[in-house]
Amino acid sequence: MAAKIIFDTDIGWMNDDCMAAIFALKSPDLEVLGITPVMGNFDLNYSLLCALRLLELTGHEDVPVCRGFDRPLIHERGAYADKVWGKWALHEPVKDFPPGMPRLQADPRHASLFIAETVLAQPGEVTLVAVGPLTNVAMALRLYPEIARHVKEIVIMGGAIGRLPRGKGNITPAAEFNFWVDPEAARIVLHSGSPITLLPLNVCRRSHFSRALYLRIIDPASAYPEVAALYKQYIGPRFDDPELDRREPVLFYGVFDHACLGYVICPEIFTSVRMCVQVSVQPGLDYGVSHGYVKGDYVSGEDALPLESDLGAINVVYDMDFDHLAELYVAAVTGRAAANEL
């Protein structure tokens, strides 16, 4: 039976979130109950348009899109955020949207309320897949803490665990972008007592979007020509430029968020460890850093490290069989999975 998911995302046009959304929508192993955009890589107004237009172009207009938070709980945008990937809270109307303005309207419910209503209406059945800053999920948990008992699982792309391989940060030396944008929200979610699987940068860095993968997705025999057309138009130019392709033969961020969906579909291809993960909300260089540790690693006591000993352990995924994930992805977005060819 298909796993019921809500996809919470800082989607941009054909960025990794968007490609992951296509994966989710087309996978026969997943039922997308709703998409809940949140600011992050982009301003919320833009993310909302991306989600709505994607549903129109891929034939999934029945999936509700609920507007989420347009800014983090506390973190204010500043010069550093402006210079790097974060474009949250620009609060500017989108004047030019090349994929075409969607006709489809957003669902009137707020993302956090939609998450709460949907999870509580189907106890134990709904998985939240969160691949952007955790603001929407944190506020849903603050409004209805009982979500923690009723959600099947919260599967999160976020954080970077320095004690595990490939654990450097990508926005500051030790912080990962999604957690750094809203560290307070990440803390609320990780402290909520919900069943959580975290896919930090450690595992995502095992993925890459190669030219070979691209060519398989645009296969003329694809059952989803509309999907192939999107990849051709928006991803193709990246690989059609021989100079760029020679210099950087993989799109590094092409498939980060896909790992969360792959985990829901086929957890066997991932390697995990139980860890406590503490997110720092200390202003400065440690802001948004996720520290992972195993209980018993350190002496606890009054003068010991400031570990939060009441923090429950969560499932931290740090490695995967990427070739297998790529097979699941290609099969889903070309319709091969529907034909049970895997």
Catalytic residues, which ones?
Answer: 10
User: And the tokens for 99?
Assistant: 């994929």
Given the complex with ligand RIB, which of 181 and 337 has the nearer CB atom?
A: 181
For residue 204, the minimal CB distance to ligand RIB (Å) is 7
| Interface map 9-38 toward Ca ion (x if CB under 5 A) | -x------x---------------------
Helices (H) and strands (E) in the chain, counts: 15, 10
The full 3-state SS of 113-174, as one line of letters, equals HHHHHHHHHCCCCEEEEECCCCHHHHHHHHHCCCHHHHCCEEEEECCCCCCCCCCCCCCCCC
Where do the DSSP E strands lie in the chain? 3-9, 30-37, 126-130, 153-157, 196-199, 209-210, 250-251, 270-279, 290-293, 314-320
**Amino acid occupying residue 320:** M
User: Of these partners, Ca ion, ligand RIB, none, which one is at the site of residue 177 (CB under 5 to 8 Å by kind)?
Assistant: ligand RIB
Q: How many residues in the shown chain lie near Ca ion by CB under 5 A? A: 5
Given the complex with ligand RIB, which of 213 and 251 has the nearer CB atom?
A: 251
Closest CB to ligand RIB: residue number: 177
For residue 86, the minimal CB distance to ligand RIB (Å) is 9
Given the complex with ligand RIB, which of 7 and 253 has the nearer CB atom?
A: 253
User: And the tokens for 309?
Assistant: 């000993």
User: Of these partners, ligand RIB, Ca ion, none, which one is at the site of residue 8 (CB under 5 to 8 Å by kind)?
Assistant: none
Given the complex with ligand RIB, which of 16 and 327 has the nearer CB atom?
A: 16
| Interface map 244-283 toward Ca ion (x if CB under 5 A) | -------------x--------------------------
User: Of these partners, ligand RIB, Ca ion, none, which one is at the site of residue 170 (CB under 5 to 8 Å by kind)?
Assistant: ligand RIB
Position 176 contacts Ca ion (CB under 5 A): no
Residues with Cβ within 8 Å of residue 299, at least 6 apart in sequence? none
Position 131 contacts Ca ion (CB under 5 A): yes
User: And the tokens for 317?
Assistant: 């995924």
C-alpha of 97 from chain center? 23
Residues belonging to the chain:
342
For residue 167, the minimal CB distance to ligand RIB (Å) is 13
Given the complex with Ca ion, which of 40 and 335 has the nearer CB atom?
A: 40
Judge contact between 58 and 32, C-beta under 8 A: no
Contact set with Ca ion (CB under 5 A): 10, 17, 131-132, 257
